[in-house]
Amino acid sequence: MTRRLRWLAIGAVIGIVGYRRLARAGSTRFPGMLQIPAFLRDVRAGMTEYERRQQGDTGRHPGRPASQGRTGALPPGRNRLKAGH
Protein backbone atom coordinates (compact mmCIF):
# COMPACT_ATOMS: atom_id res chain seq x y z
CA MET A 1 0.00 0.00 0.00
CA THR A 2 2.87 2.37 0.79
CA ARG A 3 4.37 1.79 -2.66
CA ARG A 4 1.13 2.73 -4.36
CA LEU A 5 0.81 5.93 -2.36
CA ARG A 6 4.42 6.82 -3.12
CA TRP A 7 3.89 6.31 -6.88
CA LEU A 8 0.63 8.22 -6.71
CA ALA A 9 2.40 11.15 -5.03
CA ILE A 10 5.26 11.03 -7.53
CA GLY A 11 2.80 11.00 -10.43
CA ALA A 12 0.88 13.94 -8.96
CA VAL A 13 4.05 15.99 -8.52
CA ILE A 14 5.25 15.20 -12.04
CA GLY A 15 1.84 16.08 -13.45
CA ILE A 16 1.63 19.40 -11.61
CA VAL A 17 5.19 20.41 -12.49
CA GLY A 18 4.70 19.40 -16.12
CA TYR A 19 1.41 21.26 -16.39
CA ARG A 20 2.93 24.43 -14.93
CA ARG A 21 5.89 24.27 -17.31
CA LEU A 22 3.64 23.77 -20.32
CA ALA A 23 1.34 26.58 -19.23
CA ARG A 24 4.29 28.94 -18.74
CA ALA A 25 5.80 28.00 -22.10
CA GLY A 26 2.44 28.37 -23.82
CA SER A 27 1.73 31.75 -22.27
CA THR A 28 5.07 33.17 -23.42
CA ARG A 29 4.72 31.83 -26.97
CA PHE A 30 0.98 32.39 -27.36
CA PRO A 31 -0.06 35.17 -24.98
CA GLY A 32 -3.64 35.35 -26.29
CA MET A 33 -4.34 31.67 -25.73
CA LEU A 34 -4.73 31.84 -21.96
CA GLN A 35 -7.42 34.46 -21.66
CA ILE A 36 -9.56 32.46 -19.28
CA PRO A 37 -10.77 35.47 -17.21
CA ALA A 38 -12.08 37.16 -20.36
CA PHE A 39 -13.82 33.94 -21.37
CA LEU A 40 -15.41 33.61 -17.92
CA ARG A 41 -16.68 37.19 -18.13
CA ASP A 42 -18.30 36.39 -21.47
CA VAL A 43 -19.92 33.25 -20.04
CA ARG A 44 -21.24 35.15 -17.02
CA ALA A 45 -22.62 37.91 -19.24
CA GLY A 46 -24.32 35.32 -21.43
CA MET A 47 -25.84 33.54 -18.44
CA THR A 48 -27.10 36.84 -17.03
CA GLU A 49 -28.76 37.63 -20.35
CA TYR A 50 -30.25 34.12 -20.50
CA GLU A 51 -31.66 34.41 -16.97
CA ARG A 52 -33.11 37.84 -17.77
CA ARG A 53 -34.82 36.43 -20.84
CA GLN A 54 -36.14 33.43 -18.92
CA GLN A 55 -37.65 35.64 -16.22
CA GLY A 56 -39.45 37.65 -18.87
CA ASP A 57 -40.50 34.55 -20.86
CA THR A 58 -44.11 34.76 -22.00
CA GLY A 59 -44.31 31.28 -23.43
CA ARG A 60 -42.77 32.15 -26.78
CA HIS A 61 -40.22 29.95 -28.45
CA PRO A 62 -36.96 31.40 -29.75
CA GLY A 63 -37.22 32.09 -33.45
CA ARG A 64 -41.02 32.28 -33.42
CA PRO A 65 -42.81 35.59 -33.73
CA ALA A 66 -44.61 36.80 -30.61
CA SER A 67 -47.99 36.27 -32.31
CA GLN A 68 -47.33 32.53 -32.55
CA GLY A 69 -46.85 31.78 -28.86
CA ARG A 70 -47.99 28.58 -27.19
CA THR A 71 -51.68 28.00 -27.67
CA GLY A 72 -51.90 24.37 -26.59
CA ALA A 73 -52.95 23.36 -30.10
CA LEU A 74 -50.84 21.17 -32.32
CA PRO A 75 -49.82 22.26 -35.81
CA PRO A 76 -52.15 21.19 -38.63
CA GLY A 77 -51.81 17.50 -39.50
CA ARG A 78 -50.48 16.51 -36.06
CA ASN A 79 -52.74 14.52 -33.76
CA ARG A 80 -52.27 13.72 -30.13
CA LEU A 81 -51.43 10.13 -29.24
CA LYS A 82 -54.36 7.81 -29.62
CA ALA A 83 -55.54 5.80 -26.61
CA GLY A 84 -54.13 2.49 -27.93
CA HIS A 85 -50.58 3.76 -28.44
Q: What is the pLDDT of residues 22-80, one digit of tens each?
A: 878 776 776 666 567 777 888 999 999 999 888 875 555 555 555 555 555 666 666 65
Q: What is the pLDDT of residues 8-35, one digit of tens each?
A: 999 999 999 998 888 787 767 766 665 6
pLDDT of residue 48: 92
Q: How far is CA 15 from CA 5, 38, 46, in A?
A: 15, 26, 33
CA atoms in the 13 A half-sphere facing the CB of 40: 4
Domain range list for the chain: 2-54
Query: Rounded to whole angstroms, how far apart are CA atoms 50 and 56?
Result: 10
* Residue 79 burial (C-beta neighbours within 10 Å; 0-12, 13-18, 19+): exposed
